[in-house]
Structure 1
Amino acid sequence: MPVEVSRGGSVPCRVVVCRDCCCGSSKVTGVDHREQTARLAKDAPVRITGCLDVCDQANVIVVQPSSEGRAAGGRPVWFGLVNDPAATEDVAAWVRAGGPGVAALTDILDLYAFTLPRRARSAPLRDAG
């Protein structure tokens, strides 16, 4: 998939959505996983990945900073328990506002954000296959 570049030449935020053993499965009930992914894709490129090894936080979404955000010191932000449309919309709105390094986290999103456990930090992001 080609990288989308905005008119200003910067790379936009990217969203990584875990869809493996727990995230995106029937283990997380009451969530339309396809709709969630489609909703996020309206505002940013979305990459589906295999297990991110934080199953206790299912559904996990990672927002990677845009080139502007990275230049401003932004780093990927991990969100867990994103299990309803309102939470998905909050993530999408933050991405539209600029995401990491550009827009401050809202109080609501701060409740979903978590620090990646040390055990998972060494594992690379894997594509779902």
Structure 2
Amino acid sequence: MTSHSTAPCRVTVCRGCCCGDPRKIPGVDHSAQIPRLRAALGDAAQVRASDCLDVCDQANVVVVQPSAAGRAAGGRPVWLGLVNDDDALDDIAAWLRAGGPGLAEPPGVLDLYTITVSRRVRAAVED
């Protein structure tokens, strides 16, 4: 088990009512997103699925939480919406392999995916 001081980044992929639903977002291989992230990240981050994160208009939603070192350096969770293509997954993985929130600047293209959510919604997934 990873100690608290060396805890890696954590990625939460919404798989609730709208995220991961091919009827809502056709043409996306939803079932491949989580395995693709896990393979691309290796030990750089833990990837988990979540029930609905209540940001359905932004499906597919991914939340990137900083590592322990990233949090100590001031990193905060980053919410990304409309993550519906492999290029976005590749950009997320590259950022996390470089250190993620607090330790590495995200690729500029991820600014297009960054969303702001209410405190109530954030509390559902953040520590």
TM more than 0.5: yes
Q: What are the equivalent positions in structure 2 for 1:54-93 lying under 5 Å apart?
A: 54-93=55-94
Q: Which residue of 1 aligns with 2:15?
A: 19
List per-residue Cα deviations over 1:72-96 (Å, max 9, x = no partner): 0101000000001111111111111
Deviation at 1:110, TM superposition (A): 1.0
Q: How far apart, in 1, do the equivalents of 2:100 and 2:56 lie?
A: 24
Structure 2: gaps (5+ residues): none
Runs of 4+ with deviation above 4 angstroms: none
Look up the equivalent residue of 2:97 and give its one-letter code. R
SS at match of 1:59: coil
Deviation at 1:117, TM superposition (A): 2.9
2:39 matched to 1:38? no
Q: Which residue of 2 aligns with 1:109?
A: 110
Q: How far apart, in 1, do the equivalents of 2:120 and 2:12 lie?
A: 19
CA contact (8 A) 1:4 1:45 kept: no
Q: TM-score, normalised by structure 1?
A: 0.85
Q: How far apart, in 2, do the equivalents of 1:119 and 1:11 lie?
A: 25
Q: How far apart, in 1, do the equivalents of 2:120 and 2:2 lie?
A: 32
Look up the equivalent residue of 1:38 and give its one-letter code. P
Q: How far apart, in 2, do the equivalents of 1:72 and 1:54 lie?
A: 28
Structure 1: gaps (5+ residues): none
Number of aligned pairs?
A: 119
Q: TM-score, normalised by structure 2?
A: 0.86
The structure richer in helix per residue is 2
The RMSD of aligned alpha carbons is 1.5
